[in-house]
Copies of this chain bind each other. A is one copy, B any other.
Amino acid sequence: MSETNNINIKPRSRVTTGALPASQKIYTSPDDAPHLRVPFRAVRTADPQNQLIRIYDTSGPYTDPEVHIDIDQGLPGLRKDWITARAVEAYQGRQIKPEDNGTVNPAQLAQAFARTVAPLRGTGKAPLTQYEMACAGIISEEMIYVAERENLGRKQQFEQAQQSLEGGENFGASLPAFVTPEFVRSEIARGRAIIPANINHPELEPMIIGRNFLVKINANIGNSAVTSSIEEEIDKMVWAIRWGADTVMDLSTGRNIHHTREWIIRNSPVPIGTVPMYQALEKVNGIAEKLDWEVFRDTLIEQCEQGVDYFTIHAGVRLAYIHLTADRVTGIVSRGGSIMAKWCLHHHKESFLYEHFGDICDIMRRYDVSFSLGDGLRPGSIADANDKAQFSELETIGELTRVAWSKGCQVINEGPGHVPLHKIKENMDKQLRECGEAPFYTLGPLTTDIAPGYDHITSGIGAAMIGWYGTAMLCYVTPKEHLGLPNRDDVKTGVITYKIAAHAADLAKGHPIAQIQDDAISRARFDFRWEDQFNLSLDPETARSFHDETLPKEAHKLAHFCSMCGPKFCSMKISQEVRDYASRLNDKTQGMAQMSDRFQELGNELYVSSNTLKKNKAELQVGSPDNAD
């Protein structure tokens, strides 16, 4: 509830800092850009083959003991100098108005973040957006940074990288064995990838979203009119990135929206996305019909100046498509979609988002805010999947994607939703076709509707599949989906579930660095290095606590068994004995190989010819007795 929304708010008190178990923050610098410091998490293990396992790290300075965290100050401006060297100008900026925070009464107005710098905007005198720079052949610091990051700081490709790619199935993607800054540039110029990075969000550690890079995940946070405070939302953001969220969407719909967002952006090392329509609607007291271009435009500029990195814009919800939803089982389930549908019907007019799309591009271009073209008509149930309403909107999204590119903007497209397994691939294939391979950003999809309370799982299944097929970023779903606002635990469960889905997809695509962590943890498992198994896992704390429920003693961390089978039965233990035995044999003779030849032919003894099978079968028909003991 909102009791904590008052000027005594002390956000810092709740934020989680410190490294994960056995982990340390390390930084590497690209050869051609020694001034860049790209962060990774390194896990110390007792693995003879690999004592320091490097892992992609989304957690930012919060897990670096060297960095002093002060929520009131916000994070350091990592990108400040890169940005100011470009065609930008500082300016007065828009005045904050009471309606920006939902016109709350003073007692409930949250403390404002003490912002010290004026907003920047592009002068238009030179390429500014990552897309414009890429098209102009410019390789930005952000491009160099993400290349280093995607390679896990490798200086050249692993021997097995090419092999790994050839062993995978990527459905026509073009993953490289090694990511170069030039490859990043070319992918962005082709519209196949984006680096969401508003020039007013210098605190950002750049990351890339595209089919030919690691699959990313987004975590949604945000207070609602019913519950939660700014303090909780900042904590959720830091908590989400600690467990692996690559971007965070602030979907706040309650009071204090402006202040909440400012606190989050100033303290966020990951791109922040929003749905500006939510705040615009608050400004007209939740009455959709009262929305218009002016209030929406004003909201866009407000959020551009704050540093939001990508906007969900539901410009594909056209008047002509709304009637297609009338016979659906669950109608329109996207908030933005339903708001625009209501507006269109009330005014008997085409959507002002669609009609002003060019103007929206012009605004977003000046701050390099990326488009996330929203799927306002996505299916909300298995019954409505892949219907005409959904696919008509997708075709319009394809059209708008090309418009945005022509205006110099970065674009990703949002996808469903609720889709049964056999209809998932059609979504991916149609998006690639209609939208010129712009990165796809899907919610789930949920593969069945019968498990509220477990929709992180119903959707994690669909997410892994569509990620494998080519989706670039997966929007998480928490166990609370359809039931309530996720709390801290739900956020963690959602993030871990989606890290699993994204990683399973990377493995299947044969991504060169995907299997390193799997192999390291598997070796730890086989060697009974329990500590390493815990520390290398997505959630070391949970892994350890589950193990310790039944075997809490420190001695058990070295035991060659766990409580699943007990000491006598551990197959890993027996199988190590088998291996040792075999190697002893090998010293004496050629060992197993030789033996196996000797016994190869045994197989035939038991083989029953098809004639015998027929004969026996014939006997069965008349129920002949057999002479079993």
Contact = CB atoms under 8 A, between A and B. Distances in A.
A358 B522 contact: no
A322 to B, nearest CB: 6
Interface in A247-296: 253-254, 278, 281-282, 286, 288
A538 B606 contact: no
Q: Which of A523, A568, A616 has the most CB of B within 10 A?
A: A568
Given A319-B602, A454-B538, A539-B453, A622 B136 contact: yes
A421 B505 contact: yes
A537 B450 contact: yes
Interface in A289-325: 301, 318-325
A326 to B, nearest CB: 5
Contact of A421 (B282, B301, B400, B508): B508
This chain: how many copies in the complex? 2
A358 B606 contact: yes
Nearest to A577: B342
B600 A253 contact: no
A497 B595 contact: no
A564 B484 contact: yes
Interface in A586-629: 591-593, 595-597, 599-600, 602-603, 606-608, 612-613, 616-617, 620-623, 625-629
Q: How large is the interface on A (under 10, 10 to 19, 20 to 34, 35 or more residues)?
A: 35 or more
Interface stretch (A143-151, A201-209, A540-548): A540-548
Main secondary structure, interface of A, reads helix
Nearest to A87: B623
A566 B382 CA distance: 24
A574 B538 contact: no
A286 B568 contact: yes
A484 B546 CA distance: 7
A608 B409 CA distance: 15
Nearest to A507: B420
Nearest to A327: B579
Interface in A532-562: 533-534, 536-539, 542-543, 546-547, 549-551, 562
30 contacts: A123-B625, A132-B623, A225-B565, A253-B565, A319-B599, A323-B591, A330-B575, A332-B571, A332-B574, A333-B572, A333-B575, A335-B570, A342-B581, A350-B602, A355-B606, A380-B525, A399-B606, A408-B626, A420-B508, A447-B464, A448-B518, A449-B525, A451-B500, A453-B537, A454-B500, A461-B500, A480-B564, A482-B525, A484-B551, A485-B550
